[in-house]
Structure 1
Amino acid sequence: MSQPSEMLPPSSLPDQTPHETVRSHQLQKFAIDLGLWTLAAVLAYLYRKPSALTGGLSSTALSEGVLAYFLLSALIMGALSSYYGLYRQTWRRIGVPDLLLLLRAVVLATVLGLAAAFLLYGFLDLPRSVPLLTGGLGLLLLSGVRLLARVLHERVPRGSRTDQRRVLIVGAGDAGSLIAREMLRHPEAQLHPVGFVDDDPDKRGTSLVGLPVFGGVSSLPEVVRREGVEEILIAVPSAAGTFVRRVVDLAKDTGVSYRIIPGVFEILSGNVSLGQIRDVNLEDLLRRPPVQLNTAEIAGYLRDRTVLVTGAGGSIGSEIVRQILQFGPGRIVLMGRGEGSIFAVQQELRRLAPELPQVALIGDVRDRDRVEQVFRETRPQVVFHAAAHKHVPLMEAAPSEAILNNVIGTRNVVEMGLKYGVERLVNVSTDKAVNPTSVMGASKRMAEKTVSAGAARAKPGQAFVSVRFGNVLGSRGSVVPTFMHQIRQGGPVTVTHPEMTRYFMTIPEAARLVLQAGGLAENGKVYVLNMGNPVNISDLARDVIRLSGAQDIEVVYSGVRPGEKLYEELLTSSEGTDATTHAEIFSARLEQVDPETLDRDIAGLEAAARSGDFGQIRSELARIIPENKFGSLG
């Protein structure tokens, strides 16, 4: 994308293409650097040879040897500028790494100039201190012009601030300083930063971008009253949910509005701008410190591969598709039953990665022939199996659907993965598969067993794994959309039980950890994601009510629904975990699955499901999964 000239007005570059404009800017910078370096050499010489001035800079004063040195010095600096790419630096956003690169070039140019002065001493009528002076003056001039460009870019426009909202920024780090600069550069946004609060004791009493750091976060109410603050902005992208909750509580006590910049999962580019400021949402209150990914490990198995995602139109499946893009796949195959959701993901993919080959296919994983056709025609090398029924009460009422979709569908995908030589297959599972109390949970445990049986039949170089995690905020069927709908209707908000707890993570975090688990891919493993601490659903409901701004909304208890647990588990008591190379992912210790026995068990389940014998389905599940907690259902 073209950038406006940093040294000349745009009108001086008429009718140029973006590429030509960028090239022109770079040539300008290259010429300015050479001109300033040559000026430094001349000034250094005149300082050591003032007689050149008294002689009127005549050809006698400036001998051919001196002129040759000026030319040689310019050639050396020109070569180093090209080598280090100094002309590609963006002067108006110059930073310490850019200045260090400039320093390296100047030091090397000085050393080479000094060597030339010693080697050519007989030819050059030149004091040997001139190269050293040239280096010092050149560094001042070249860095000075860059800093001047940044100062001019960041200058605060004059104008009235009487109509601007006074903003207190929570967080005096990189994000806070960047957002403060954005406010100062864009008064049209009607936001004026008055300063910062930050819990880092080393920052208190200091200033950042010319604004004071008043104190710790606990001083927020006092600062709001004293400074006439009208809005609070949380600018700590890596903050945990407990910190965000604390700031929100303090902000609510002051009565002023509050907003936040996105978390690190939403700022992949690392940039912060005024357009990214948004209201605090539930994910901010519940988020955990960011998970560090081994991007090289993920890219190693996704780059240039054909990747198939089943259930690609769903919440998790579509997010997996988005996250795959940054790792350079060769082609993405979208498969799902809902044409509307698959079409939406297809269009988004065309917008985000227009050059990436993609295939969108409507199909049901329960249809073995259709699954084989997809594998035969697209030849995927990596498969993420996210297609599943996940709603516990609905599957209690329709157990045949849970078996056909979650068990038979997984069997079809695994069989085709084996037949067509898939390198990696990652099955998206759930914590409800642990000690299942529901048909849905039991069906997902059967899906895990199916993948493990496929792993036992895999050839060298193939890896079939499952990834187990809890509830995902914002996914279809999660409690938060239900709470929001109830609040819009005026309440009450219904919670099944006051002690009901669940594990939660955000959709982007879940998708990234699924990709990371695929990078571990030790054949046959069931990976368990670190879900943090469980969340009380009653507290969650009150957070949603508070964030919505609603008043007098009551929380009522409706009773535990069929198949539900009061709390979820990520492991059975007999499983335990082993560490992996990733701190947030563990490997469950599972019993060995006998493929032949499992085939017979699945055949019995399929027969019961197709005949609609709900009692037989429950009996078979209770027999196959002895750790179940069905109670009367077994």
Structure 2
Amino acid sequence: MTYRQRFSFLIVLDSVIVLTAIFFSRFLLSASFNVFTTPVVVSSLILLLSHHCYSLRYKLYKKAWEYASIGELITIMKAVSFSILTAGVAQQMWLEDIHFRLLTVTWMLHVMLIGGSRFYRRVFGDAQAPKAPMMPNKKRTLVIGAGSAGTMVARQLINNNESELLPVAFIDDNVKKHKLDILGIPVVGGVSQIERIAAELFIDNIVIAIPSLRRKEIYTIYQECAKTKAKTQIIPMLEDLAMGRISVNQFQDVRVEDLLGREPVELDMGSITDYLTDRTVLVTGAGGSIGSEICRQISRFNPRQLILLGHGENSIYAIELDLLKQFRHASIEFITEIADIQDAAKMISVMHKYRPDVVYHAAAHKHVPLMERNPEEALKNNIQGTLNVGRAASISGVQTFVMISTDKAVNPTSVMGATKRLAEMMIQHLDEGSATKFVAVRFGNVLGSRGSVIPLFKQQIEAGGPVTVTHPDMIRYFMTIPEASKLVIQAGAFAQGGEIFVLDMGEPMKIVDLARNLIRLSGNSVEEIGIDFTGIRPGEKLFEELLKDDEAHEMQVHPKIYVGKKMAVPANDILDLVQHYELYDKAELRQKLLELANDRVMEARVALSV
């Protein structure tokens, strides 16, 4: 039925209802068939006209009544009430007498008939919805959350014949809802009872239907769901629903990042806009997992130019295509430079050519076992490369230089950690004699980045297992790639020069727990896939730190960001090692790097001076 046909039908239907209501009210009150008196006829015409006026005012002819709810019922009552009041005022003006009993009964019939004519489709649709015993092929679903979102999910699943899910019970921690029925579905208990209820009701699927949940709450609920054999899904986050990017019944699998137990970092948009918008920005390692996400985040602030610098042509080509597609309507000039940060002359040439305002230094070797076997390559890339980029930035008058570091730089036991710590030191050294503000940003493991455990675990699970974990007590701090990138960008806005910024990453997570969660999220059981412990690899620690005790600073520049104190730097010793590293074999070079990174040379000098 077209809108015009539907509108005409409702006009005719409502006219019949209004006239029926008032004439039938007169008949009920007078018990006489003589209802066509002058007051009744005049009141009928006034009521009919006012009803159509208020119906148009409240858009009663435009509503999709098959989705009607309490709000639509209230709208009907408003339109009818104002129509009756208008008729009463007219009776007082022209008939000099208000027929209160007639108007009261008319109001009641009017609401009942108009409401019934609108809600019959909703009532009929709900009544015709198939029930659980008639649908043996559907997956029995437990809905967590008996609030408005949970109710909406259940209603859509019931009314959608194409859905493979059938809601059979609600879970909610509000004890006032327990033992109640919502849409004919019982509220059977709280979150702590999920395992028992899932077994008793033969649950195949669980849907977490509370869009406002915080990560810590999602983690708690998921741990209970993981005790069952049911697949666990979650409805989209509240902001996605509010923006209309996704509907409430488009369920998502629970992701590893949802289980971090820590809320995502929120940016100080104003401070970032001031130093990125309409500026020239250069990113080294732009093709890497962190560097490419930094480029995406930067592009949201509409810089004038974004220079993508990297050693691998394929990865730089890929991020350039992605940015051109994603920000095709923005006035950003994306420029690519294939270059190696170990080439000092090339770094000076690039900086001199583009004169960037801000540099994000993301290029680095980061694989711990590989760097243990190749300490000279770690030194050349992570220390010498950082010096090359930093010196070029200083010479070219860059305003802010942000280096990406790692928690492995704290009390390092690996070559990778040691070289990143020494790179931090050289950044602080460069800051002392330059107009450029040099800072470093330190964070933990990044979920899904190249070389991280997540891609490895996924490959092992797809191959049927087992998943390999080095040690059952191995723990790490984790964050997502977007979070890490946002932290790097935010640090640049707070830079005064020489700081090491650190994210408040909440509580660390055991690697074995991460492996178990990933196995369950993939739809497998831990028993089927299996977990093998292979032993700690060279250079690894059981746990990582974010700040040394003497670095710790109580000041927070952001609710989730700390700033470390500036420390004494053995700059001459680091520069000497960079220039003469070829004099050492691999074992000696590794030892020298660790000594310098752990300040043992400085400690020895202090001891000698005493």
SS of 1:300's equivalent in the other structure is: helix
Q: Out of 404, 409, 412, which is 1:428 matched to?
A: 404
* Paired residues for 1:195-210 under 5 Å: 195-205=169-179
Matched, 1:619 2:592: yes
Match of 1:343 in 2: 317
Structure with max Cα Rg: 2
- What is the distance in 1 between the residues matched to 2:130 and 2:420? 63
1:605 paired to 2:577:
yes
Q: CA deviation at 1:440?
A: 1.2
Q: Distance in 1 between matches of 2:156 and 2:354?
A: 47
**Count of residue pairs brought into register by the alignment:** 576
**1:449 to partner: Cα distance:** 2.4
Rounded Cα–Cα distance in structure 1 between residues aligned with 2:320 and 2:123? 44
Closer, same or farther in 2 for the Cα pair 1:310/1:221, shift >3 Å? same
How far off its partner does 1:575 sit?
1.4
- Are residues 348 and 173 of structure 1, via their aligned partners in 2, closer, same or farther at CA, if it must alter by over 3 Å? farther
What is residue 452 of structure 1 aligned with on the other side?
428
Which of 196, 208, 233 is the matching residue for 1:260? 233
- Shift, 1:151, TM fit: 9.9
* Residue in 1 that maps onto 2:361: 385
Q: What is the aligned partner in structure 2 of residue 496 from structure 1? A: 470
Contact 2:308 2:334 in 1 (8 A): yes
> 2: distance between equivalents of 1:611 and 1:154?
82
Residues 233, 467 of structure 1: alpha-carbon distance in 2 compared, 3 angstrom cutoff: same
- Deviating above 6 A after TM superposition, structure 1's stretches of 4 or more consecutive aligned residues are 53-59, 87-96, 143-160
Mapped to 2, the partners of 1:9 and 1:522 lie a distance apart of 65
Quote the Cα distance in structure 1 between the aligned partners of 2:255 and 2:490.
26
The Cα shift of 1:430 comes to 0.5
Displacement of 1:329 after TM fit? Answer: 4.6
| Secondary structure of residue in 2 paired with 1:188 | coil
- The reply to whether residue 567 of structure 1 matches residue 543 of structure 2 is yes
Structure 1 residue 400 and structure 2 residue 376: aligned? yes
Matched letter for residue 513 of structure 1: L
SS at match of 1:250: coil
Distance 1:521 1:262 in 2: 39
1:276 to partner: Cα distance? 4.2
Distance in 2 between residues matched to 1:153 and 1:352, nearest whole Å: 42
5+ unaligned residues in a row in structure 1: which ranges?
1-7, 14-27, 30-52, 64-68, 82-86, 128-139, 630-634
> How big is the alpha-carbon RMSD for the aligned residues of Structure 1 and Structure 2?
5.7
Once the 2 structures are TM-superposed, how far is the Cα of residue 431 of structure 1 from its aligned partner?
0.5
Partner of 2:605: none
Q: How far did 1:502 drift?
A: 1.8
Q: Report percent identity of matched pairs.
A: 38
Question: 1-side partners of 2:327 and 2:583: how far apart?
Answer: 45
Aligned partner of 2:419 in structure 1 is 443
User: 499, 509, 524: which one pairs with 1:535?
Assistant: 509
Matches for 1:130-141 after TM superposition, within 5 Å: none
| CA–CA distance in structure 2, aligned partners of residues 377 and 423 of structure 1 | 16
Aligned partners of 1:180 and 1:193 also within 8 Å: yes
Q: Deviations over 1:468-521 (max 9, x none)?
A: 111122221122333444455565544333433222223233333333334433
Alignment partner of 1:277 out of 249, 252, 255: 252
Task: Name which of 385, 398, 409 aligns with 1:409.
Answer: 385
- Pair 1:521–1:151, CA change in 2 (3 A): farther
Distance 1:408 1:150, change over 3 A: farther
Matching residue within 212, 216, 225 for 2:190:
216
Residue of structure 2 equivalent to 1:364:
339
Asked if structure 2 preserves the Cα contact closer than 8 Å seen for 1:168 and 1:197, the reply is yes
Written as runs of structure 1 = structure 2, the 5 A alignment for 1:183-194 is 183-184=157-158, 186-194=160-168
SS in 2 for 1:572: coil
Secondary structure of the equivalent of 2:188?
strand
CA distance in 1, matches of 2:262, 2:247: 18
Amino acid at match of 1:388: A
Q: How many angstroms does 1:390 deviate by?
A: 0.8
Residue 436 of structure 1: how far off its partner (Å) = 1.5
- Residue 336 to residue 625, structure 1, CA distance change in 2 (3 Å): same
- For residues 311 and 93 of structure 1, what CA distance do their matches in structure 2 show? 52
SS at match of 2:486: helix
1:189 match: secondary structure: coil
Provide the secondary structure at the position in 2 that maps to 1:388: coil
| Equivalent pair of 1:454/1:464 in contact (CA under 8 Å) | yes
- Decide whether aligned partners of structure 1 residues 197 and 411 sit closer, same or farther in structure 2, where only a CA change above 3 A counts: same
Question: Could you tell me the TM-score, scaled by structure 2's length?
Answer: 0.72
Cα distance per residue 1:309-343 (max 9 Å; x no partner): 32222222223333445545555433222222222
TM-score (norm 1): 0.69
3-state SS in 1 of match to 2:137: coil
Instruction: Say if 1:473 and 1:480, in contact at 8 Å, map to a contact too.
Output: yes
| Structure-2 separation of matches of 1:248 and 1:335 | 45
